[in-house]
Amino acid sequence: MKSKLPFVTGHSNKKLEETLASIHDSATLDTMREITTHYNNIHLMLISEREQLCSKLKRTCTIPRYQHLIEALQKFHDEECDKLQILKDKKLDCLLKNSQNYWVAELGLHHQEKNIILKNEPLSDESMDAAVKLLSRHLPDIHIQSCLLTHEMLTYAPIETLHLHHTGANHYCISTSFGSKVSIYDSLNSSPTQQLLQQITALYSPDNSIPESHQAVIIHPQEGSTDCGVFAIAYAFELALGNEPSLFVFDQSKMREHLLACFENRYVSPFPKSRRILTPSKSINITRGVSPTQKWSTPKKPAPPRQQPLHSTSIQTGNHFATLSPYNSNKSANNNTVSSVLKWSLFFRKVTK
């Protein structure tokens, strides 16, 4: 659709107003207005510069010379205005085309993402990031980082948060630090990959040590291999609503339909469930095999290096039997032996007398 939108120079423009009225997305509408305002300001600036040059030429040139220069200046002005018009039309057309391809523009979702959900295909990164945007709106006090970031771009979260992970093995899961401990929820109960451990370390560890993490055992895992993203979003929504995801068995046949409703209505809502598990599920310490020096602990300031004295100083004590060093120990033992021999010899002398 080619939209020929002329410049607006202060007066009402019916064609422009009709085009803007056809846009229902607020973000696209604001962007179109910014583009139009920007190019209108440039147009007004060109008009002002042309008038200043005309008045200057009128004072300094003869009439034939003035007329010739005015014609050249008018031609240059028209060419510049045409260039600006073309640039503005290209930007507006591109914006209109993108807005028409959006399914939920506010979440950055195109119609292609809707088809992926309806066809039971694995969720794309756009759908997972849209879920992050919904979670961020529902939990404005918690900084939830994008699932599109690699572990090098993730930043340490000193307060409680949650995160949607791509494990690097065509699989999604989530982690959280709610309750002051790192917990992982995986709908397939799969072992953590190296990429997942790197992301968890970047999120929950103040240094490069691996944080102590516990993976919840999902009693009723997902069926098939294409719904891991849907389950990860369902777990994240339950945590955002204050529930424990491992206590529920989700109705997998209704989850995608519910996800569509959440995206279209832009809200966080609990996914449909078939039953509740009465007994809390167990959790596995996935860092049990990691050496204690690599596990996460509260960051502390490094202690200053202690200087060992070259010679130990003697300690004054009232107990003359206390041994202070091997040399003193042997010496005191010898003295005790000599004194005991003298005592016994004096005793026998008295008895024999």
Kindly list the averaged pLDDT for each block of 10 residues, start to end, along the chain of length 353.
Answer: 38 50 60 75 81 82 81 82 78 66 83 93 94 94 91 92 94 94 95 94 91 93 94 96 94 96 94 89 80 44 38 38 41 49 51 47
Domains of the chain by residue range = 14-106, 121-294
Query: Where does the chain have alpha helices with state H?
Result: 14-21, 26-60, 63-101, 111-118, 125-138, 194-204, 228-240, 252-265, 326-352
CATH code of domain 121-294:
3.40.395.10
The predicted structure's pLDDT at residue 312: 37
Q: Which neighbouring-strand residues pair with 121?
A: none
The answer to whether the beta carbons of residues 6 and 14 sit under 8 Å apart is no
Radius of gyration of the chain (CA): 39
The predicted structure's pLDDT at residue 6: 41
2: tokens are 């080619």
118: tokens are 């309806």
The answer to whether the beta carbons of residues 231 and 210 sit under 8 Å apart is no
Considering only CA atoms, which of 245, 215, 229 is closest in space to residue 170? Answer: 229
Contacts (Cβ under 8 Å, ≥6 apart) of 156: 202, 203, 204, 205, 206
- Strand order through the sheet with 182-185: 162-166, 172-176, 182-185, 213-216, 283-285
The predicted structure's pLDDT at residue 340: 54
The predicted structure's pLDDT at residue 336: 52
The predicted structure's pLDDT at residue 331: 45
